[in-house]
Structure 1
């Protein structure tokens, strides 16, 4: 796999809150995707569709779970590409802050699929998801307490 897409962010939220946001389907649906079949265990296979734009089926398999630290899974589009990529969510605690590092390796493996699967599309998508959608969701939960 070539260079990875990497997005980093520091949030003033407890690591437990961020972990729940990336591992609990009922929370993921509020800011990320509505995932089907997701269970936080090794080798669990789950899938989802994007809510807008190109509606490709994303199929993923969990490769690694380190509670409150790391979630790593495959990311594929079996209906349109033979490619496989790997997504890693890494969390680091720094005082009351949580550092998030999202890495997506292997997006170049989707060259046999749609033009919508370009590296540039993934970069823009992850920037929006990690730096806008997640913080917006977390802010909205603060006002509901």
Structure 2
């Protein structure tokens, strides 16, 4: 049974180019997102990182870039080593002059229906709300 993807939209007082660099440059990403050993905004590029609840199990995230439209759209798969399911994260950027509207969509979360409470949809909502609503905003707006 398909569920509605999680979507969050935020507008930042920063140009598209700056936001694009924040979501595609591994050195910038480690400041506000996850510390990736390597990242390239190229279809087929595979990357991984470890993350999880601050006081809980850490999971190896395994991802592959599936779509890139420079300064407009970036999509990658998102799955966990040793866990069933695969989901897709899409970042869309909309130029609004001196600001950028960012729409993040995390789809196919229901595929993680393994009974693992760490992978419950509400945890993704909380995580993305913090990452997109606070961390990325502060990074691109320089706060």
Instruction: Say yes or no: TM over 0.5.
Output: yes
CA distance in 1, matches of 2:25, 2:113: 31
- Root mean square deviation, CA, Å: 1.4
Bigger mean CA deviation after superposition, 63-72 or 29-38: 29-38
Unaligned runs of 5+ in 2: none
Aligned match for 2:84, one of 79, 82, 85: 82
- Matched with 2:65 is 62
Residue 22 to residue 113, structure 1, CA distance change in 2 (3 Å): farther
- 2:125 is aligned with 1:123: yes
Bigger mean CA deviation after superposition, 65-74 or 110-119: 110-119
* 3-state DSSP of counterpart to 2:71: coil
CA distance in 1, matches of 2:15, 2:89: 22
Q: CA deviation at 1:11?
A: 0.8
Query: Aligned residues, how many?
Result: 140
Q: CA deviation at 1:23?
A: 0.3
- Matched with 1:137 is 139
- Matched with 2:112 is 110
Q: Is the 8 A contact 2:48 2:63 kept in 1?
A: yes
Q: CA deviation at 1:112?
A: 1.4
1:87-136 C-alpha deviation (Å, 9 max, x unpaired):
00000001111000000001111111621110000001000000011112
CA distance in 1, matches of 2:115, 2:23: 27
Unaligned runs of 5+ in 1: none
Q: Is the 8 A contact 2:12 2:140 kept in 1?
A: no
TM-score normalised by length of structure 2 = 0.92
TM-score normalised by length of structure 1 = 0.91
* 3-state DSSP of counterpart to 1:116: helix
* 3-state DSSP of counterpart to 2:28: helix
